A and B are shown apart, each in its own frame.
Chain A
Amino acid sequence: MVNLLQNGDVCMEELEEEAPMFCINDNEDVLVEILRRLDGRSLGSAACVCKMWCGIARNDALWEHLCFRHVSPPPSGVRPVVVALGGYRRLYMVCLRPVLSRLGRMRVGLGGGESDLVRRVWTRQEVELSLSLFCVDYYERLLGGGGKLTDAPASSLMFLCKTVNV
């Protein structure tokens, strides 16, 4: 809306009354939909934005979607096991991401970024291997913690954490 002021200048005014300001924090379901489409690294960054985003981004369902959305067919019956062993977020951080980034890099031969992981189709065997390693991780934490679970990654999977010149 253009206003003509007394001194002859022209100015534009904010049209505040016409459309309400859209604030993403008021629309959690939209936020969730957006976050579902992110890759792991971005999801992690999203968790650092504010408390509310952190709460949403840490929701295991989001990470479950991230883990298996490109696996075809999606493995069934996996959820209770994964949840019991520490949850999808841990599965992704400790096993899936390093496994897939290493194997992906070896196959393609390029240093793909995290976003490449998202688009890549993961084979059933890669998923199985990751799950097995995840279970070993849980067991090692059992062994090491003297019966109680510690949060630190188990030693046998340390090789996955280190950068590799592939």
Chain B
Amino acid sequence: MVTKRDREREKGDSSASMAAKAAKGKVWEEERPDTGMDELLAVLGYKVRTSDMPDVAQKLEQLEMAMGTTMEDGITHLGSDTVHYNPSDLSGWVQSMLSELNTASPSSNFDAISNQTAGSSSTTMIDFSNGKQLGDQCKIYNDDSEYDLRAIPGGAIYRSDKESDRGSGIKRMKSSSLEPEFDDSLTVAAAESARPVVLVDSQEAGVRLVHTLMACAEAVQQENLKLADALVKHVGFLAVSQAGAMRKVATYFAEALARRIYKIYPQDSLETYSDILQMHFYETCPYLKFAHFTANQAILEAFAGANRVHVIDFSLKQGMQWPALMQALALRPEGPPAFWLTGIGPPQPDNTDALQQVGWKLAQLAETIGVEFVFRGFVANSLADLDASMLEIRPSEVEAVAVNSVFELHRLLARPGAMEKVLASIKAMKPKIVTFVEQEANHNGAHFLERFNEALHYYSTMFDSLESSGLTQPNGQDLVMSEVYLGRQICNVVACEGTDRVERHETLTQWRTRMDSAGFDPVHLGSNAFKQASMLLALFAGGDGYRVVENDGCLMLGWHTCPLIATSAWQLAGGDS
């Protein structure tokens, strides 16, 4: 099957290049009769109408692009599974391959839209569109009013001062794929645009992709769901033509938008596999390691001189943060203190006691390095369910308390009053230090569109940084799992609302205001933490891109000029030393 495919591709190549040259020249169209079959291809056994030649050439180019950029797994099935009924109908089988490829490309684990084009095999679309016939869907595309992008308000896709026959370019769509035949005025518009557009690559398709995403979000904000639906499919098609980070980001955002449009939210609890996904994220890139090391440094400094210490961890997960702290405590000149750890985690769907297992492993480590260790696990659906009195905290003369949270506090903003309650409980614990690490972005704005744009910028940068570390690490699975981990966050930010939307990230400035008004004073993280963080980053391949920045006592880790996460430390106001 491989050889046959190669042979066909070869022919495809030659006809594509030939047709491309011919189309540009526009000479031979006038010389040959319109209704005849192309003679040269007929010699090879393909029946293609001369009038169809430019279309076929275009499709072949797209097929080549798509095959080149689709992941390995996406194309192997083409060799064995695709059935071609009439191989001499070059146009037909290229089209069927194109639509098959689009079925295979996005990598989500949800049963969301995977076929983004209105190709002949768009069976998945029917499930989501309330039993609409395929014909209806094609009607959407042929309906000019939906597709005339000049109709979209706002400058996202089309600047009103640029007149062009964009409409006619789109109309040429028969029953098959959309041709992104926008003219160059769009690129000019993008360059002039004052919006903070993420231009990950300079090709036209990349710019169009971003603009289409933003236009789709605008349509969703305005409740123009028909237009949004059409645009989201277009995004899927454009995404296939991209490579690398841009494509993945676009795919995840398109999927999230589609979920929002069709109101299909993930049924399974997002807690399943979240620990595993976070482990892979931990291994692939330095963000979590940075978070752990900087928070640990602050805690270590706060614990100087204490003989009993108690850490309350709001985000225990697999407990990856604590071995390093325990080791640092063990090697203190005055010897290790007695170390109590209270870990808080969500209930597990399979009823296993994940917290106890983690506690057991940590205890083994502690015994190995000679640190007196006690572990307590608390299962809670939300941090707001906890009370300081439940945690058996001893008075501050006896033990020094630290409260730690990595990427957990923002979830409390989903329910009104929860944040205040938790901050009050933290104060009741009388901690020596409170450390938390949060994403440095505002994904909690009042309007959907601004959240969407912020998220698009943020996650594009994140995926970019993952991509660069992915180049030097052979373990592809880690990278994919990390992307799924981020993809879930994207889905939550874009598709969910109300108490379901838990990924309510806020910027450091916003957190500062909140902590200040809750009665906390900032603790500066110090140069030790900065040096250690810089060293840690220097170890990472692609380390050139990562930057540690000190921001008024807090440390931020970012990719090039864009800060992505921030660590900050706090103590009770009034100087509780």
| A residues lining the B interface (CB < 8 Å) | 75-78, 80-81, 84-85, 98-99, 102-103, 106, 125-126, 128-129, 131-136, 138-140, 142-143, 147, 155-156, 158-160, 162-164, 166
A131–B331 touching, CB < 8 Å: yes
Known: A135-B323, A142-B364. A159 touches B540 (CB 8 A): yes
Residues of A within 8 A of B535 (CB): 103, 125-126, 129
Residues of A within 8 A of B362 (CB): 139
Closest chain B residue, CB of each to CB of A129: B535
* B480 CB, min distance to chain A CBs, angstroms: 14
For the complex, would chain A's binding face be called helix, strand, loop or mixed by DSSP majority? Answer: helix
Complex CA gap A125/B364 in Å reads 26
Known: A132-B293, A138-B323. A159 touches B370 (CB 8 A): no
Complex CA gap A120/B566 in Å reads 34
Assess whether B361 is interfacial by the CB under 8 Å rule.
yes
B478–A155 touching, CB < 8 Å: yes
A158 in complex: contacting residue of B283, B323, B536, B538, CB < 8 Å: B283
B541–A164 touching, CB < 8 Å: yes
Residues of B within 8 A of A106 (CB): 538, 543
Per the 8 Å Cβ criterion, residues 350-387 of B in contact with A are 361-362, 364-365, 368-370
A135–B283 touching, CB < 8 Å: no
A159 in complex: contacting residue of B327, B364, B532, B541, CB < 8 Å: B541
15 contacts across the A-B interface (CB closer than 8 A): A80-B369, A99-B539, A102-B538, A136-B320, A136-B324, A138-B323, A138-B365, A139-B323, A142-B365, A155-B283, A155-B475, A158-B283, A159-B539, A162-B474, A164-B541
Complex CA gap A77/B329 in Å reads 12
Closest chain A residue, CB of each to CB of B335: A77
* 16 other A-B residue contacts (CB within 8 Å) besides A102-B539, A139-B365: A80-B369, A81-B327, A125-B528, A129-B536, A132-B293, A132-B323, A133-B324, A135-B323, A135-B324, A135-B369, A136-B323, A138-B368, A139-B320, A159-B469, A160-B539, A166-B543
The 4 A-B residue pairs with the shortest CB-CB distance, nearest first, are A135-B327, A139-B323, A132-B324, A84-B368
Residues of A within 8 A of B327 (CB): 81, 85, 131-132, 134-135
Known: A138-B323, A159-B469. A143 touches B318 (CB 8 A): yes
Closest chain A residue, CB of each to CB of B544: A166
Per the 8 Å Cβ criterion, residues 283-316 of B in contact with A are 283, 289, 293
- What 0/1 pattern do residues 381 to 401 of B give for CB contact below 8 A with A? 000000000000000000000
Assess whether B149 is interfacial by the CB under 8 Å rule.
no
Complex CA gap A139/B324 in Å reads 9
Known: A125-B532, A135-B326. A85 touches B472 (CB 8 A): no
* B433 CB, min distance to chain A CBs, angstroms: 19
A84 in complex: contacting residue of B370, B469, B473, B541, CB < 8 Å: B370
| B residues lining the A interface (CB < 8 Å) | 282-283, 289, 293, 318-320, 323-324, 326-328, 330-331, 333, 335, 361-362, 364-365, 368-370, 469, 472-475, 478, 528, 531-532, 535-536, 538-541, 543
* B257 CB, min distance to chain A CBs, angstroms: 33
* B547 CB, min distance to chain A CBs, angstroms: 14
Complex CA gap A134/B541 in Å reads 19
A143–B361 touching, CB < 8 Å: yes
B331–A81 touching, CB < 8 Å: yes
A85–B324 touching, CB < 8 Å: no
Closest chain B residue, CB of each to CB of A80: B370
Closest chain B residue, CB of each to CB of A131: B327
* A148 CB, min distance to chain B CBs, angstroms: 10
Residues of A within 8 A of B333 (CB): 76-77
* B272 CB, min distance to chain A CBs, angstroms: 19
* A37 CB, min distance to chain B CBs, angstroms: 27
B324–A103 touching, CB < 8 Å: no
Residues of B within 8 A of A135 (CB): 323-324, 326-327, 365, 369
Complex CA gap A138/B475 in Å reads 20
* A133 CB, min distance to chain B CBs, angstroms: 8
Residues of A within 8 A of B326 (CB): 135
Residues of A within 8 A of B365 (CB): 135, 138-139, 142
A142–B361 touching, CB < 8 Å: yes
Residues of B within 8 A of A133 (CB): 324
Closest chain A residue, CB of each to CB of B286: A159
Complex CA gap A166/B545 in Å reads 12
Residues of B within 8 A of A131 (CB): 327, 331
Complex CA gap A85/B293 in Å reads 19
B331 in complex: contacting residue of A75, A129, A166, CB < 8 Å: A75
Complex CA gap A136/B540 in Å reads 16
Complex CA gap A80/B324 in Å reads 16
Residues of A within 8 A of B541 (CB): 159, 162, 164
Residues of B within 8 A of A78 (CB): 331
Complex CA gap A151/B306 in Å reads 36
Residues of B within 8 A of A84 (CB): 368-370
Closest chain A residue, CB of each to CB of B542: A164
B370–A162 touching, CB < 8 Å: no
B473–A158 touching, CB < 8 Å: yes
Closest chain B residue, CB of each to CB of A76: B333
Known: A103-B535, A162-B541. A85 touches B283 (CB 8 A): no
A162 in complex: contacting residue of B324, B472, B478, CB < 8 Å: B472
Residues of B within 8 A of A98 (CB): 539
A81 in complex: contacting residue of B282, B330, B528, B536, CB < 8 Å: B330
A132–B328 touching, CB < 8 Å: yes
B532 in complex: contacting residue of A129, A138, A147, A162, CB < 8 Å: A129
Complex CA gap A126/B531 in Å reads 10
Complex CA gap A142/B368 in Å reads 11
Complex CA gap A133/B328 in Å reads 11
B370 in complex: contacting residue of A76, A81, A155, CB < 8 Å: A81
* B531 CB, min distance to chain A CBs, angstroms: 6
* A149 CB, min distance to chain B CBs, angstroms: 10
